[in-house]
Chains A and B, each alone.
Chain A
Amino acid sequence: MGIESAFGEGFLTTKIDTVVNWARANAMWPMPMGLACCAIEMMAFAGPKYDASRFGSEVMRFSPRQSDLMIVAGWCTYKMSHAVRRIWDQMPDPKWCIAMGACASTGGMHRSYGVVQGVDNFLPVDAYVSGCPPRPEVVLHALMTIQEKVKKEHSVLLDV
Protein backbone atom coordinates (compact mmCIF):
# COMPACT_ATOMS: atom_id res chain seq x y z
CA MET A 1 0.00 0.00 0.00
CA GLY A 2 1.39 3.35 -1.05
CA ILE A 3 4.99 4.34 -0.70
CA GLU A 4 5.80 1.91 2.12
CA SER A 5 5.79 -1.02 -0.30
CA ALA A 6 8.39 0.73 -2.42
CA PHE A 7 10.70 1.28 0.60
CA GLY A 8 10.36 -2.27 1.86
CA GLU A 9 10.27 -3.31 5.50
CA GLY A 10 11.25 -1.01 8.36
CA PHE A 11 9.66 2.15 7.03
CA LEU A 12 6.63 4.01 8.18
CA THR A 13 5.32 7.07 6.43
CA THR A 14 3.38 9.71 8.27
CA LYS A 15 2.96 13.44 8.45
CA ILE A 16 5.21 15.57 10.61
CA ASP A 17 2.13 17.12 12.22
CA THR A 18 0.96 13.70 13.30
CA VAL A 19 4.31 12.83 14.85
CA VAL A 20 4.65 16.12 16.67
CA ASN A 21 1.08 16.03 17.91
CA TRP A 22 1.47 12.43 19.04
CA ALA A 23 4.51 13.43 21.06
CA ARG A 24 2.86 16.48 22.52
CA ALA A 25 -0.37 14.75 23.41
CA ASN A 26 1.32 11.86 25.15
CA ALA A 27 3.78 13.83 27.23
CA MET A 28 1.44 16.43 28.66
CA TRP A 29 3.14 17.45 31.88
CA PRO A 30 0.77 19.28 34.20
CA MET A 31 1.47 22.42 36.15
CA PRO A 32 -0.61 21.89 39.28
CA MET A 33 -2.19 25.20 40.21
CA GLY A 34 -3.88 23.89 43.34
CA LEU A 35 -5.78 26.75 44.93
CA ALA A 36 -8.38 24.98 47.07
CA CYS A 37 -10.05 21.64 47.79
CA CYS A 38 -9.96 20.59 44.10
CA ALA A 39 -6.21 20.25 44.57
CA ILE A 40 -6.82 17.18 46.73
CA GLU A 41 -8.71 15.51 43.89
CA MET A 42 -5.98 16.60 41.52
CA MET A 43 -3.48 14.73 43.71
CA ALA A 44 -5.68 11.64 43.45
CA PHE A 45 -5.71 12.12 39.69
CA ALA A 46 -1.93 11.95 39.70
CA GLY A 47 -1.70 9.21 42.31
CA PRO A 48 -1.47 5.45 41.79
CA LYS A 49 -5.19 4.66 41.77
CA TYR A 50 -6.23 6.94 38.93
CA ASP A 51 -2.71 7.24 37.57
CA ALA A 52 -2.49 10.08 35.11
CA SER A 53 0.80 8.66 33.89
CA ARG A 54 -1.17 6.14 31.83
CA PHE A 55 -1.91 9.11 29.61
CA GLY A 56 1.60 10.50 29.57
CA SER A 57 1.05 13.01 32.38
CA GLU A 58 3.31 11.18 34.77
CA VAL A 59 5.08 14.13 36.29
CA MET A 60 3.55 17.12 37.95
CA ARG A 61 6.06 19.84 37.25
CA PHE A 62 6.19 22.52 39.89
CA SER A 63 8.20 24.68 37.55
CA PRO A 64 6.13 26.40 34.88
CA ARG A 65 9.06 26.20 32.48
CA GLN A 66 8.81 22.42 32.25
CA SER A 67 5.08 22.04 31.96
CA ASP A 68 2.54 22.03 29.16
CA LEU A 69 -0.81 21.89 30.89
CA MET A 70 -2.00 24.13 33.68
CA ILE A 71 -4.69 22.63 35.90
CA VAL A 72 -6.33 25.48 37.79
CA ALA A 73 -7.89 23.60 40.70
CA GLY A 74 -9.92 25.76 42.99
CA TRP A 75 -11.31 29.24 43.39
CA CYS A 76 -9.11 32.10 42.31
CA THR A 77 -9.22 35.51 43.95
CA TYR A 78 -8.46 38.71 42.11
CA LYS A 79 -5.27 38.98 44.13
CA MET A 80 -4.20 35.43 43.19
CA SER A 81 -5.15 35.90 39.53
CA HIS A 82 -2.04 38.00 38.96
CA ALA A 83 0.19 35.21 40.27
CA VAL A 84 -1.63 32.58 38.20
CA ARG A 85 -1.30 34.65 35.04
CA ARG A 86 2.39 35.24 35.73
CA ILE A 87 2.97 31.51 36.01
CA TRP A 88 0.94 30.92 32.87
CA ASP A 89 3.04 33.47 30.99
CA GLN A 90 6.20 31.63 32.05
CA MET A 91 5.02 28.33 30.59
CA PRO A 92 6.54 27.70 27.17
CA ASP A 93 4.26 27.38 24.17
CA PRO A 94 2.42 25.25 23.23
CA LYS A 95 0.40 25.11 26.42
CA TRP A 96 -3.09 24.14 27.47
CA CYS A 97 -5.31 24.83 30.43
CA ILE A 98 -7.93 22.92 32.39
CA ALA A 99 -10.35 24.86 34.63
CA MET A 100 -11.04 22.20 37.23
CA GLY A 101 -14.24 22.40 39.24
CA ALA A 102 -17.15 24.78 39.49
CA CYS A 103 -15.15 27.59 41.09
CA ALA A 104 -12.39 27.72 38.52
CA SER A 105 -14.91 27.44 35.70
CA THR A 106 -17.51 29.96 36.84
CA GLY A 107 -16.74 31.18 40.34
CA GLY A 108 -19.04 28.48 41.68
CA MET A 109 -20.50 29.14 45.07
CA HIS A 110 -18.03 31.96 45.68
CA ARG A 111 -20.29 34.63 44.24
CA SER A 112 -18.47 37.52 45.85
CA TYR A 113 -16.46 40.64 45.20
CA GLY A 114 -13.11 38.99 45.78
CA VAL A 115 -13.31 35.89 43.59
CA VAL A 116 -12.82 35.90 39.82
CA GLN A 117 -16.00 34.47 38.32
CA GLY A 118 -14.20 31.91 36.18
CA VAL A 119 -10.51 31.77 35.37
CA ASP A 120 -11.37 32.20 31.68
CA ASN A 121 -11.50 35.90 32.50
CA PHE A 122 -7.72 35.93 32.29
CA LEU A 123 -6.61 32.51 30.97
CA PRO A 124 -7.40 30.74 27.69
CA VAL A 125 -9.15 27.64 29.04
CA ASP A 126 -9.28 24.52 26.85
CA ALA A 127 -11.38 22.23 29.04
CA TYR A 128 -13.83 22.94 31.80
CA VAL A 129 -14.50 20.28 34.43
CA SER A 130 -17.77 20.36 36.33
CA GLY A 131 -18.13 19.12 39.88
CA CYS A 132 -17.47 20.38 43.37
CA PRO A 133 -14.91 18.94 43.59
CA PRO A 134 -14.81 16.79 40.43
CA ARG A 135 -13.94 13.12 40.61
CA PRO A 136 -10.44 12.28 39.37
CA GLU A 137 -11.97 10.35 36.44
CA VAL A 138 -13.44 13.57 35.14
CA VAL A 139 -10.05 15.26 35.25
CA LEU A 140 -8.67 12.30 33.31
CA HIS A 141 -11.48 12.80 30.83
CA ALA A 142 -10.56 16.47 30.48
CA LEU A 143 -6.96 15.45 29.89
CA MET A 144 -8.07 12.99 27.20
CA THR A 145 -10.25 15.66 25.62
CA ILE A 146 -7.26 17.95 25.40
CA GLN A 147 -5.21 15.09 23.92
CA GLU A 148 -7.86 14.67 21.24
CA LYS A 149 -7.72 18.39 20.62
CA VAL A 150 -3.93 18.36 20.36
CA LYS A 151 -4.01 15.47 17.90
CA LYS A 152 -6.22 17.49 15.57
CA GLU A 153 -4.11 20.64 15.69
CA HIS A 154 -1.92 21.98 12.92
CA SER A 155 1.28 22.13 14.87
CA VAL A 156 3.99 22.45 12.21
CA LEU A 157 2.28 22.72 8.86
CA LEU A 158 -0.29 25.37 8.25
CA ASP A 159 -2.89 24.81 5.59
CA VAL A 160 -2.70 27.78 3.27
Chain B
Amino acid sequence: MQVPDKFNPVTAAIQALDPSGQVQISVTRGDVQLLVPRTIIIDVLRTLKDDFGFTYLIDIVATDRFTSEDRFEVIWNIISLKDQSRIFVKTRVPEEDPSLPSTVDIWPAANWNEREAYDMMGIRFTGHPDLRRLFLPEDFEYFPLRKEFPLMGVPGSIPLPSTSPDVD
Protein backbone atom coordinates (compact mmCIF):
# COMPACT_ATOMS: atom_id res chain seq x y z
CA MET B 1 0.00 0.00 0.00
CA GLN B 2 1.03 3.55 -0.68
CA VAL B 3 1.93 5.82 2.21
CA PRO B 4 -0.86 8.43 2.49
CA ASP B 5 0.04 11.89 1.17
CA LYS B 6 -0.34 13.58 4.53
CA PHE B 7 2.75 11.67 5.73
CA ASN B 8 4.98 13.14 2.99
CA PRO B 9 6.53 15.85 5.21
CA VAL B 10 7.13 13.21 7.91
CA THR B 11 8.87 10.77 5.57
CA ALA B 12 10.96 13.57 4.07
CA ALA B 13 12.13 14.64 7.53
CA ILE B 14 12.91 11.04 8.51
CA GLN B 15 14.92 10.50 5.35
CA ALA B 16 16.86 13.69 6.07
CA LEU B 17 17.83 12.19 9.43
CA ASP B 18 18.92 8.96 7.76
CA PRO B 19 21.54 9.65 5.10
CA SER B 20 22.44 5.96 4.68
CA GLY B 21 18.84 5.09 3.77
CA GLN B 22 18.27 2.35 6.33
CA VAL B 23 14.78 3.40 7.40
CA GLN B 24 12.04 1.20 5.97
CA ILE B 25 8.63 2.77 5.58
CA SER B 26 5.61 0.54 5.06
CA VAL B 27 1.86 0.58 5.47
CA THR B 28 0.11 -2.30 7.22
CA ARG B 29 -3.68 -2.30 7.53
CA GLY B 30 -3.77 1.44 6.95
CA ASP B 31 -1.14 2.30 9.55
CA VAL B 32 2.26 3.71 8.68
CA GLN B 33 5.19 1.79 10.15
CA LEU B 34 8.78 2.96 10.30
CA LEU B 35 11.59 0.48 10.90
CA VAL B 36 14.45 2.59 12.18
CA PRO B 37 18.01 1.56 13.14
CA ARG B 38 18.57 2.10 16.83
CA THR B 39 21.38 4.61 16.31
CA ILE B 40 18.91 7.27 15.15
CA ILE B 41 15.75 6.11 16.96
CA ILE B 42 15.90 8.91 19.52
CA ASP B 43 16.32 11.56 16.81
CA VAL B 44 13.41 10.16 14.81
CA LEU B 45 11.08 10.06 17.82
CA ARG B 46 12.06 13.53 18.96
CA THR B 47 11.49 14.94 15.48
CA LEU B 48 8.11 13.28 15.27
CA LYS B 49 7.05 14.84 18.54
CA ASP B 50 8.61 18.27 18.21
CA ASP B 51 8.04 18.96 14.52
CA PHE B 52 4.99 16.90 13.63
CA GLY B 53 2.88 16.98 16.76
CA PHE B 54 2.99 13.31 17.72
CA THR B 55 2.41 14.28 21.32
CA TYR B 56 0.36 11.29 22.40
CA LEU B 57 2.28 8.11 23.24
CA ILE B 58 -0.19 5.22 23.21
CA ASP B 59 2.11 2.36 24.07
CA ILE B 60 5.57 0.92 23.89
CA VAL B 61 5.65 -2.77 23.09
CA ALA B 62 8.59 -5.14 23.07
CA THR B 63 8.46 -8.37 21.08
CA ASP B 64 10.75 -11.36 20.94
CA ARG B 65 11.30 -12.34 17.30
CA PHE B 66 13.46 -15.29 18.42
CA THR B 67 15.93 -14.73 15.59
CA SER B 68 19.70 -15.02 15.90
CA GLU B 69 20.20 -11.43 14.78
CA ASP B 70 18.30 -8.41 16.04
CA ARG B 71 16.23 -10.56 18.29
CA PHE B 72 14.07 -8.00 20.06
CA GLU B 73 11.84 -5.41 18.49
CA VAL B 74 10.53 -2.37 20.33
CA ILE B 75 7.53 -0.55 18.91
CA TRP B 76 6.36 2.94 19.77
CA ASN B 77 2.71 3.55 19.00
CA ILE B 78 2.24 7.30 18.75
CA ILE B 79 -0.59 9.56 17.65
CA SER B 80 -0.73 13.11 16.38
CA LEU B 81 -3.93 14.65 17.71
CA LYS B 82 -3.43 17.60 15.39
CA ASP B 83 -3.54 15.54 12.17
CA GLN B 84 -5.45 12.50 13.50
CA SER B 85 -2.63 10.27 12.32
CA ARG B 86 -0.90 7.33 13.87
CA ILE B 87 2.61 6.00 13.37
CA PHE B 88 4.26 2.83 14.61
CA VAL B 89 7.99 3.35 15.01
CA LYS B 90 9.94 0.13 15.34
CA THR B 91 13.53 -0.60 16.11
CA ARG B 92 15.46 -3.80 16.66
CA VAL B 93 18.11 -4.64 19.23
CA PRO B 94 20.39 -7.69 19.41
CA GLU B 95 20.19 -10.23 22.22
CA GLU B 96 23.73 -9.51 23.48
CA ASP B 97 23.06 -5.82 24.06
CA PRO B 98 19.33 -5.15 24.36
CA SER B 99 19.65 -1.48 25.18
CA LEU B 100 17.96 1.59 23.81
CA PRO B 101 17.95 5.25 24.74
CA SER B 102 15.07 6.14 27.05
CA THR B 103 12.24 8.25 25.68
CA VAL B 104 10.99 9.43 29.05
CA ASP B 105 12.28 12.94 28.41
CA ILE B 106 10.27 13.05 25.15
CA TRP B 107 7.03 11.56 26.53
CA PRO B 108 6.82 11.30 30.34
CA ALA B 109 4.19 8.58 29.77
CA ALA B 110 6.96 6.32 28.51
CA ASN B 111 8.16 5.76 32.06
CA TRP B 112 6.00 2.78 33.01
CA ASN B 113 5.89 1.42 29.46
CA GLU B 114 9.67 1.20 29.42
CA ARG B 115 9.68 -0.37 32.85
CA GLU B 116 7.24 -2.97 31.60
CA ALA B 117 9.40 -3.71 28.56
CA TYR B 118 12.37 -4.09 30.88
CA ASP B 119 10.40 -6.29 33.28
CA MET B 120 9.02 -8.66 30.69
CA MET B 121 11.64 -8.69 27.95
CA GLY B 122 14.82 -7.31 29.49
CA ILE B 123 15.21 -4.27 27.23
CA ARG B 124 17.44 -1.78 29.06
CA PHE B 125 16.53 1.86 28.48
CA THR B 126 19.59 3.95 29.20
CA GLY B 127 18.81 7.27 30.81
CA HIS B 128 15.54 6.04 32.31
CA PRO B 129 15.00 7.79 35.66
CA ASP B 130 13.87 4.68 37.56
CA LEU B 131 14.35 1.45 35.64
CA ARG B 132 12.95 -1.06 38.13
CA ARG B 133 10.69 -4.02 37.50
CA LEU B 134 7.05 -3.00 37.20
CA PHE B 135 5.07 -6.20 37.84
CA LEU B 136 7.39 -8.92 39.06
CA PRO B 137 9.25 -9.03 42.37
CA GLU B 138 12.40 -6.95 42.25
CA ASP B 139 14.67 -9.92 42.98
CA PHE B 140 13.25 -11.99 40.13
CA GLU B 141 16.08 -13.11 37.86
CA TYR B 142 14.33 -13.85 34.55
CA PHE B 143 12.44 -12.03 31.81
CA PRO B 144 9.25 -14.04 31.48
CA LEU B 145 8.02 -12.94 28.05
CA ARG B 146 11.19 -14.11 26.34
CA LYS B 147 10.41 -17.15 24.29
CA GLU B 148 12.82 -19.49 26.08
CA PHE B 149 11.14 -18.84 29.44
CA PRO B 150 9.00 -21.84 30.46
CA LEU B 151 5.25 -21.21 30.73
CA MET B 152 5.00 -22.29 34.34
CA GLY B 153 8.16 -20.43 35.33
CA VAL B 154 11.27 -21.63 37.04
CA PRO B 155 10.30 -23.59 40.17
CA GLY B 156 11.30 -21.79 43.33
CA SER B 157 12.25 -18.57 41.55
CA ILE B 158 9.45 -16.63 43.27
CA PRO B 159 9.09 -17.70 46.92
CA LEU B 160 5.73 -18.42 48.50
CA PRO B 161 5.08 -17.00 51.97
CA SER B 162 6.05 -19.02 55.00
CA THR B 163 3.12 -21.01 56.32
CA SER B 164 4.20 -20.88 59.93
CA PRO B 165 3.41 -17.49 61.42
CA ASP B 166 6.27 -17.45 63.92
CA VAL B 167 8.94 -17.48 61.25
CA ASP B 168 9.57 -14.17 59.58
Residues of A near any B CB (own CB < 8 A): 78-79, 81-82, 84-86, 89, 111-114, 116, 121-123
Contacts and interface: CB of A to CB of B under 8 A. Distances in A.
A114 B151 contact: no
Contacts of A114: 135-136, 144, 153, 158
B168 to A, nearest CB: 11
* Interface of B (DSSP majority class): loop
B153 A113 contact: yes
Contact of B151 (A78, A85, A113, A116): A113
A121 B158 CA distance: 13
Interface of B: 135-137, 144, 149-154, 158-163, 165
A122 B163 contact: yes
Nearest first, the 4 closest Cβ-Cβ pairs linking A and B are A113-B153, A85-B161, A78-B158, A89-B165
Contacts of B136: 79, 114
B144 A113 contact: yes
Contact of A81 (B149, B150, B161): B161
5 contacts: A78-B137, A79-B158, A81-B161, A89-B165, A113-B150
B92 to A, nearest CB: 26
A111 B137 CA distance: 19
Given A112-B153, A113-B151, 20 more contacts: A78-B158, A79-B136, A79-B137, A81-B161, A82-B161, A84-B161, A85-B161, A85-B163, A89-B165, A111-B151, A111-B152, A112-B151, A113-B149, A113-B152, A113-B158, A114-B135, A114-B144, A116-B160, A122-B160, A122-B161
A122 B160 CA distance: 7
A133 B149 CA distance: 30
